[in-house]
Chain A
């Protein structure tokens, strides 16, 4: 056995727990998870069945973690996992899964397939079988801060420019601020206006905030590629900055995976409970709305719909919050079919947006989203994830669909009464 395969198998063994055993023990091979998966519905390729993507993990569990499997292995009735198996599965585990979570909702016996694919990636990465795009992004995030190489100098310039544009100062590394706000690189690059929008919203709510020069990045490539070490290092960076700046809480921005990584996986990755609150920006804004701190005037009168980011709605449960905020700014809101928990993925989650070799497939699996939109013909598409927003814009352009994609935070800021109430 090669060293890398040994590392991969060791990492996989670490991931096997009682839920994994319950899930594999319960699968009846009904194939319904495939019907929920955009990669199967759009291609008809049975290899994209979610449970099929998990075959290496299932084999390891069966051979090593069940008595009957061990007896079978001793009798030579099953094959051990090989490098060739992992190499073959790499595309299934990374290129054809956005970790969207639809399959996990669909399985009649209750298997959380998405959680298991996330676990399987730990073994794949440890064995060296991860897409180049993700590996490079991980190296950039570890050696710098941003997975796409947005440096501190650029961040400072963007922050200054947006502060000047909105007329509200934004102070970086401000000690004692209420909130440490993290930003995703896609926002810095493609949607920097969100910084000005945040400045307006925090001012209106009477809260102070800051951005850390050594921990501005919200996204966590470690969670996407499947490396607890990388993921834990990136989470620790933010926790350290929160301590250094003595903030009361940390805000995750409009990014689905960043929310899952920092809010839910984070404490387990660093092995300690947080001593500050971590909250998604949509949740925080809704809290302020409920407290009467956000007042808006006027509404957008065009026909708007909302794209539920998988990690924020289905796997985050924050879709009521998003809709309450939408109601503040949208006069003509329309839901698409399957909106909410059953929404269809944009096609770019789970690291797919950084996995360039999967671009064609990503555009193919935009099919359900496209059909959802064609059915209700909106004039604007609002979402609360900058990665979704970027992918949606790219796919809409590819399919010649003329539809602006808007960020919920920016929309809210646009209709905000700016004086603190």
Chain B
């Protein structure tokens, strides 16, 4: 297959397939989660569960006091990784243009130099987190093969995107095709791996906050 044909496939049927799997998978997992419902709580509330639930969705972005000192690498690495990834995915001009093309939504981005820096930092954070994962006995015990798959699937678009922007190695067309294919792999794996937390974390935090909030307790 020529690089043009590959690119056309990645942009057309490849992307459509990946997007369909992503949307179907994410919807299925959210629906089967909500389907399980919650039993009604008959106790008399002391505080607002809903309000604290919403507050907790936001407040858990901040690290727990005392724990940063115990796990500095995970906290700093995790922050850098998540912020960096967000910037690279959503604040890069061509990505915004692609999303605008699909949805009509538009917002300002960051200069390419900043995105380049963010990509390097994000990849560095991923490597540091991977090493931290392999060194810590708890994380070693908890880590599954799917976690490594998710890590790899997250790294590939970052790596190929960086090479693409900096015109390194392969011809542009081939690199763009490979970059798109790596994004498609990420989309396909998303509903089946821990990547799914990027959607369900909001529900988890809301529930934890709501459970505590009714009691006037902490979350």
In the complex, what residues of A have CB within 8 A of residue B78's CB? 30, 108
Tell which of B39, B70, B215 touches A316, judged by Cβ atoms closer than 8 Å. Answer: B215
Instruction: Tell me if B212 counts as interface (CB < 8 A to partner A).
Output: yes
B144 surroundings in chain A (CB, below 8 A): 29
**B133-162 residues at the A interface, CB under 8 angstroms:** 136-144, 147
Q: Report the Cα distance A46→B133, complex, angstroms.
A: 13
Our pick among A65, A264, A271 for the contact of B36 (Cβ within 8 Å) is: A65
Cβ of A112 and Cβ of B67 under 8 Å apart? no
Q: On chain B, which size bracket covers the interface?
A: 35 or more
Closest Cβ of chain A to B38, distance in Å, is 5
**How many angstroms from the CA of A34 to the CA of B57 in the assembled complex?**
21
B51-77 contacts to A, CB under 8 A, are 56-57, 60, 63-67, 70-71, 74
Interfacial chain A residues near B218, Cβ < 8 Å: 105, 313-315, 317, 341
Given A25-B29, A316-B217, A342-B66: A274 in contact with B203 (beta carbons within 8 A): no
Cβ contacts under 8 Å, B140 to chain A: 46
How near does chain A come to B55, taking the closest CB pair, in angstroms? 11
The answer for the CA separation of A264 and B49 in the assembled complex, in Å, is: 13
Contacts of B38 in A (CB 8 A): 17-19
- Are A110 and B137 in contact, with the CB atoms below 8 A? no
When each residue 12-23 of chain A gets 1 if its CB lies under 8 Å from chain B and 0 otherwise, what string results? Answer: 000011111111
- Chain A residue at minimum C-beta to C-beta distance from B210: A19
Given contacts A26-B200, A31-B74, A109-B205, contact A66 B138 (CB under 8 A): no
* CB of A56 closer than 8 Å to a CB of B: no
Report the Cα distance A329→B143, complex, angstroms. 51
Can you list, as one digit per residue, whether each of B21-41 has a CB less than 8 Å from chain A (1) or not (0)? Answer: 000000011001111111101
Residues B196 and A25 in contact, CB atoms below 8 Å apart = yes
Chain B residue with minimal CB distance to A108? Answer: B60
Q: Is the CB of B139 within 8 A of A31?
A: yes
Whether the Cβ atoms of B197 and A317 lie closer than 8 Å is no
Question: Which one of A47-55, A80-88, A182-190 contacts B?
Answer: A47-55
Contact digits for A317-349, partner B, Cβ 8 Å, 1 yes 0 no: 110000000000000000000100110000000
| Alpha-carbon gap, A335 to B200, bound state (A) | 37
Contacts of A266 in B (CB 8 A): 43
- The chain B residue sitting closest to A51, CB to CB, is B142
A272 at the interface (CB under 8 A from B): yes
Instruction: Given A22-B204, A317-B46, verify A268-B143 contact (CB < 8 Å).
Output: no
Cα(A104)–Cα(B64), bound, Å: 11
Any A CB within 8 A of the CB of B86 = no
Q: Which residues of B contact A316 (CB under 8 A)?
A: 215-217
Task: Decide if A271 touches B42 in the complex (CB within 8 Å).
Answer: yes
Is A28 close to B, CB under 8 A?
A: yes
Q: Do the beta carbons of A109 and B43 come within 8 Å of each other? A: no
A267 at the binding interface (Cβ < 8 Å): yes
- Looking at B29, B141, B206, the one whose CB has the most chain A CB atoms below 10 A away is B141
- Residues of A contacting B203 in the complex (Cβ-Cβ under 8 angstroms): 18, 22, 25-26
A35 at the binding interface (Cβ < 8 Å): yes
Residues of A near B46 (CB, < 8 A) are 317
The verdict on A18 contacting B200 (CB below 8 Å), with A31-B139, A47-B141, A52-B141 known, is: no
Cβ contact within 8 Å between A105 and B204: no
Contact B33 A22 (CB under 8 A): yes
In the complex, A280→B182 CA distance in Å? 57
Q: Point out the residues of chain B lying under 8 angstroms from A341, CB to CB.
A: 218
Which of A21, A41, A272 contacts B42, CB < 8 Å? A272
In contact, B139 and A36 (Cβ under 8 angstroms): no
Q: How far is the CA of A27 from the CA of B200 in the complex (A)?
A: 9
Chain A neighbourhood of B138, CB < 8 A:
31, 34, 40, 46, 49, 52
The verdict on B192 contacting chain A, using a C-beta distance below 8 Å, is: yes
* Docked-complex contact A110 and B208, CB < 8 angstroms: yes
Question: What CA separation (Å) do A25 and B67 show in the bound complex?
Answer: 23
Measured between beta carbons, the chain A residues less than 8 angstroms from B84 are none
**A30 CA to B82 CA in the complex, in Å?**
14
A111 CB-CB contact with B under 8 Å: yes
A338 to B: closest C-beta gap in Å: 6
Given A26-B197, A35-B71, 9 further pairs, Cβ under 8 A: A19-B207, A19-B208, A25-B197, A26-B196, A27-B197, A30-B139, A115-B211, A266-B43, A338-B66
Give chain B's interface residues, CB within 8 Å of chain A.
Answer: 28-29, 32-39, 41-44, 46-47, 56-57, 60, 63-67, 70-71, 74, 78, 136-144, 147, 191-192, 194, 196-197, 200-201, 203-209, 211-212, 214-219
Residues of A within 8 A of B (CB): 16-23, 25-32, 34-36, 40-41, 44, 46-47, 49, 51-52, 65-68, 104-112, 115, 263-268, 271-274, 277, 313-318, 338, 341-342
